[in-house]
Amino acid sequence: DSGVTQTPKHLITATGQRVTLRCSPRSGDLSVYWYQQSLDQGLQFLIQYYNGEERAKGNILERFSAQQFPDLHSELNLSSLELGDSALYFCASSVDSSYGYTFGSGTRLTVV
Amino acid sequence: EDQVTQSPEALRLQEGESSSLNCSYTVSGLRGLFWYRQDPGKGPEFLFTLYSAGEEKEKERLKATLTKKESFLHITAPKPEDSATYLCAVQAVNYGQNFVFGPGTRLSVLP
């Protein structure tokens, strides 16, 4: 157990739907990062939050949004889902990225 | 444009057969190069951080080295449990706290 908890582990939904992925960071970590991993794209950075504030954005689609709550857990919202959104979505946390991230075990999203 | 590439894409070794994985990068202002291990269906697990050319880090059968343009992950006398995908990631001064990940090398160690 890495200390980063992601739920749900698996999610199957239809095109056009909306889903919410949840992440609880490791205790003491203020930064939360969301990454998407698909077979053809590798790990792609989506967005970072630090202590409730958005800190950086990567290749995140406008249909996707995220937030970090006062208790530091984070949610990634994916809407108007398309088949191409099927991927593994990872959350990671860190206290200082110089020491690398701690990743959760991911949520596997399948859009049918 | 910043790039991180890894080679080979896949590598099959016999148990005990040592080899090296390569990570090549072109970034401006490297802050650090990171190696991760990823098992199927799991999140990447942090292995090493290297900050400057000439630096080396070791952990069990793994040794990571860094030059100005690439990093190598040397695997000495691998065991089947070393089978995984190995990812390298770079952090640059204009990335903030974020990384650009390479595509990974899928390592299989056969008994």
On the question of pLDDT at B31 being above 90, the answer is no
The residue of chain A with its CA nearest to that of B37 is A103
> B37 exposed, middle or buried (CB, 10 Å; 0-12, 13-18, 19+)?
buried
**Confidence band for A60, pLDDT divided at 50, 70 and 90:** very high
Residue A39 CB contacts under 8 Å (≥ 6 apart), including other chains: none
pLDDT digits (tens, 9 = 90+) for A18-45: 999 999 999 999 999 999 999 777 899 9
The residue of chain A with its CA nearest to that of B94 is A56
- Provide the shortest C-alpha distance from residue B43 to chain A (in Å): 5
Pairing of strands B105-110, B10-14: parallel
Residue A67: its pLDDT value, please? 97
**Confidence band for A13, pLDDT divided at 50, 70 and 90:** very high
Q: What average pLDDT does this structure show over A73-102? A: 91
- Provide the shortest C-alpha distance from residue A12 to chain B (in Å): 16
Mean of pLDDT over chain B: 93
DSSP A8: -
Residue B8 CB contacts under 8 Å (≥ 6 apart), including other chains: B21, B22, B105
In angstroms, the Cα distances linking B64 to A110, B26, B61 are 36, 18, 10
The residue of chain B with its CA nearest to that of A38 is B103
More confident residue, A2 or A46: A46
On the question of pLDDT at A97 being above 70, the answer is no
pLDDT digits (tens, 9 = 90+) for B32-57: 999 999 998 899 999 999 999 999 99
Length of chain B: 111
pLDDT digits (tens, 9 = 90+) for A44-59: 999 999 999 999 888 8
- Taking an 8 Å cut-off on Cβ atoms, the answer to whether B101 and A101 are in contact is no
Residue from B5, B39, B46, B106 to probe the interface with A (highest A Cβ count within 10 Å): B46
- Taking an 8 Å cut-off on Cβ atoms, the answer to whether A90 and B104 are in contact is no
On the question of pLDDT at B97 being above 70, the answer is no
Chain B neighbors of A33, CB-CB under 8 A: 98
Mean of pLDDT over chain A: 93
